[in-house]
DNA sequence: TTGAAAGCGCTAACAA
DNA sequence: TTGTTAGCGCTTTCAA
């Protein structure tokens, strides 16, 4: 790797600052690190020289002795180009960044998409570039858990760990929304409305724990629901519309639906309207996520399950720092609440 | 900054590997760096020990002597929570990441939003955490140009530099789409269709160079266009719809419009329809950006100006590496082309 | 309050 | 082909 533009070949060092201000390296170091025991005049003089010379401490040298970088990696995968278009993630990341900033740590985002990203990202994380990592969307068996274990990097994971035989994911802290509990709230609400033929449109429950958990919540409340009231989709709007069409085809008598994401719910509402069903009179609908920009603009506005996404982000960051926190790594489940709008 | 989870206190070092495999540190170093002059058996033995011990090289130590991190920062601002929802940026970033990966470099994304992010990001960039930077959305006078200059960090900037008095932005490499040329293509196409009352909906030309340049392109072709055929908007869909309504109010006779972004154009098309105008028969419309997902789904499909966004991303990354490249920093303008669909 | 000296873990001459 | 040695630029005892 040869850069076209050469970095500044000779940057001033601590030594340079020391010489120029007539003190020792130690004293300059103390000034830089705001240590108290330096005479004010000396400190001022040193600071003067620092800005004269445009001195910036070499972090590599510093790291070598302190073992601290003040940087935290946020590792994400961006399947199907979707991540960047996902307001959920946008909000989560914002929460993380703000919390990290409060701790004086720089968030650096790394992408883990293609197969050859793995070794590079692993090298990066293992190489001491960061003090810790917040990791999303691990694929089971991708070895990142193990790798992070081995190098002893402090880490917090997003989402319920999808365990496979032999995985030891539970050794790390995990943060997840209460998908199961939220789904229960949604379905219980529909039950309380007197609905008796409650369908569900699920996410890809064989791939994502959130989808599996939301389905589990539905089944918690309705253990005896007939299978033809369940239709699988993939969290997209179009799939939600199609799934609702399939349900209506099989069960024209359905009178409610728990649709496992707002995006799918907006598709489902459209299908219901196209089929002449009134919402909520004929069919009551509850979504999941409470995404601003979707829930208000559907017709009728979508009743849904709210998650404190920003709070989840902050929590993940805090778990990396907060010394009061869990001794043993644990899974933290962030509560949800039902938000009533027009659709149920 | 105190981490809850302590990093592994004692990680194996080069020395450990050397001792255990009965060779010197130099030999281990050579094996790690794939230098040729090591006997095969020795190298194998060393590699064995490395994986036994789970040794990972300490990058700080390495950096300290090589002055290389194999990481490149991508610095962005995310105004109004919008960036993550922008397919344009998504594509650009993907191009950058892929090109960097080919050079064995890790892309790390940094956010520069709130005021207190500046010093932290500056410290990060100046601290030698990265070998170079790709920087977007600088605010004029934010001092980042100067700072990057001072620390001598190789950098490539996105977008045409918005110069203020005393700025020396032109000392750095810039990459930008051909906004002005693309706008000319759009307007010339409308002229060639025989349209004579060609309006334009602009972006926020007082804030963004892309918007200013697209307006300039319109004026290049129509230097005598009356001012009431120009309406300013802010690149959002709603603003595009409103702007078109304003134009129709002032100039019900307009027979064409160059709308400076696809998103605004989709809003404008809606307004035109609401006002009973047929597109393209009554009013021909050309957009800008060629965003998949918008241009095909409008009614009619949108004729627009295409930019090779992925290519721009790759180019920016390449400029950081390619030794054949410009001696003097320069602004590179990436060409656009007209894509004919139904609206003009 | 300040300075001298050792050492963090690695690479890169230079010798062998 | 391998080992020895001298730093890279900083923090951190320990003495003064």
Rank A90-99, A194-203, A318-327, B136-145 by mean pLDDT and report only the highest. Answer: A194-203
The DSSP 8-state label assigned to residue A138 in this structure reads: P
Grade residue A118 by pLDDT with cuts at 50, 70 and 90.
confident
Query: Region A112-125: what's the mean pLDDT?
Result: 86
Residue B135, helix vs strand vs coil: strand
**Average pLDDT of the residues in A302-310:** 94
Tokens 């939301």 correspond to what residue?
A214
Q: Are A159 and A88 in contact (CB under 8 A)?
A: no
Taking the CA of residue A115 and the C1' sugar atom of nucleotide D11, their distance in angstroms comes to 39
Nucleotide D16 C1' to residue A24 CA (A): 14
pLDDT at B158 over 80: yes
Contacts of A9 in chain B (CB under 8 A): 152
Shortest alpha-carbon distance between residue A342 and chain B (Å): 24
CB contact under 8 A, B152 and A59: no
- pTM score, two decimals? 0.86
Greater confidence, B191 or A56?
Answer: B191
- The 10s digit of each residue's pLDDT in A194-209 is 999 999 999 999 888 8
Q: Return the residue matching tokens 């995006």.
A: A263
> Strand C positions with any atom < 7 Å from protein CB?
1-5, 7-13
Residue A84 scores a pLDDT above 60: no
| pLDDT score of A112 | 87
The Cα B119–Cα B49 span in angstroms is 43
In terms of DSSP bridges, do strands B331-334 and B230-232 run parallel, antiparallel, or are they unpaired? unpaired
Q: Do B109 and A109 touch (CB under 8 A)?
A: yes
Highest mean pLDDT among A39-48, A225-234, B292-301 belongs to: A225-234
List B258's β-bridge partners, or say none: B200, B286
Mean pLDDT of chain B: 87
* Pairwise CA distance, residues B328 & B337, whole Å: 28
For B322, the closest chain A residue by CA position comes to A4
| Per-residue pLDDT band at A260 (split at 50, 70, 90) | very high
Question: How far apart (Å, rounded) are the C-alpha atoms in residues A185 and A188?
Answer: 5
Tell me the C-alpha to C-alpha distance, in Å, between residue B3 and each of A64, A330, B8. Answer: 18, 16, 12
In this prediction, residue A81 has a pLDDT band, given cuts at 50, 70 and 90, of: very low
Question: Per-residue pLDDT averaged across A101-114, rounded?
Answer: 90
State the Cα angle at B221 between B217 and B222, rounded to 5°.
110
Taking an 8 Å cut-off on Cβ atoms, the answer to whether A94 and B114 are in contact is no
Q: A4-61 pLDDT, tens per residue? A: 565 555 788 999 999 998 999 999 999 999 888 888 888 888 999 999 888 889 999 9
CA closest to B61 among chain A residues: A64
pLDDT for B81: 47
Residue A62: pLDDT over 50: yes
Torsion (CA) B141, B146, B148, B154 in degrees, nearest 10? 110
Q: Tell me what percent of the residues of chain B surpass a pLDDT of 90.
A: 55
Chain A residues with CB-CB distance to B89 below 8 A: 84
Closest CA to B96 of B86, B84, B108: B108
Average pLDDT for chain A: 87
Is the confidence at residue B100, as pLDDT, over 80? yes
- Residue with smallest Cα–C1' gap to C13: B26
Query: Would you mind telling me the total number of residues written for chain A in this entry?
Result: 344
- Number of A/B CB contacts below 8 angstroms equals 199
Protein residue ranges contacting nucleic strand C, Cβ under 7 Å: A 22-27, 30, 36-39, 42, 61, 64-65; B 11, 13-15, 25-26, 29, 32-33, 55, 57-58, 61-62, 64-66
Top mean pLDDT of A52-66, A179-193, B18-32, B307-321 is at A179-193
Q: A126, A143, A84: which is closest to A109 by C-alpha?
A: A84
Q: What is the dihedral of CA A294, A296, A299, A303, to 10 degrees?
A: 90
Contact B33, B281 (CB under 8 A): no
- Output the distance from B31 CA to D2 C1' rounded to whole Å: 12
């Amino acid at each position: 790797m040869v850069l076209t533009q050469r970095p500044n070949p000779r940057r001033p060092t601590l030594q340079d600052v020391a010489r120029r201000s007539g003190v020792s390296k130690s004293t300059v170091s103390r000034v830089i690190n705001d240590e108290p025991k330096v005479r004010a005049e000396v400190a001022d003089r040193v600071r003067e020289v620092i800005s004269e010379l445009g001195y910036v401490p070499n972090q590599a040298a510093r790291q070598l002795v302190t073992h601290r970088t003040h940087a935290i990696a946020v590792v994400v995968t961006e399947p199907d180009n979707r991540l960047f278009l996902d307001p959920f993630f946008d909000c989560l990341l914002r929460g993380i960044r703000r919390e990290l900033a409060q701790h004086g740590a720089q968030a650096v985002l790394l992408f883990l998409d293609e197969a050859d990203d793995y070794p590079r990202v692993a090298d990066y994380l293992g190489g001491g570039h960061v003090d810790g990592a917040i990791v999303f969307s691990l694929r089971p068996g991708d070895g990142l858990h193990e790798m992070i274990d081995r190098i002893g990097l402090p880490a917090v994971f997003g989402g319920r760990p999808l365990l496979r035989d032999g995985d030891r994911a539970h050794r790390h802290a995990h943060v997840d929304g209460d998908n199961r509990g939220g789904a229960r709230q949604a379905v219980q609400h529909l039950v309380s409305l007197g609905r008796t033929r409650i369908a569900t449109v699920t996410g890809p429950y064989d791939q994502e724990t959130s989808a599996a958990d939301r389905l589990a919540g539905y089944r918690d409340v309705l253990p005896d629901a007939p299978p033809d009231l369940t239709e699988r989709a993939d969290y997209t709007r179009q799939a939600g519309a199609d799934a609702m069409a399939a349900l209506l085809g099989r069960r024209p008598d359905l009178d409610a639906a728990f649709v496992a994401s707002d995006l799918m719910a907006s598709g489902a509402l459209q299908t219901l309207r196209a089929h002449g069903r009134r919402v909520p009179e004929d069919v009551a609908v509850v979504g999941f996520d409470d995404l601003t920009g979707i829930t208000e603009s559907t017709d009728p506005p979508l009743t849904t399950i709210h998650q404190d996404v920003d709070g989840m982000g902050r929590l993940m960051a805090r778990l990396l720092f907060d010394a009061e926190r869990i001794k043993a790594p644990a899974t933290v489940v962030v509560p949800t609440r039902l938000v009533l709008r027009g659709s149920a």
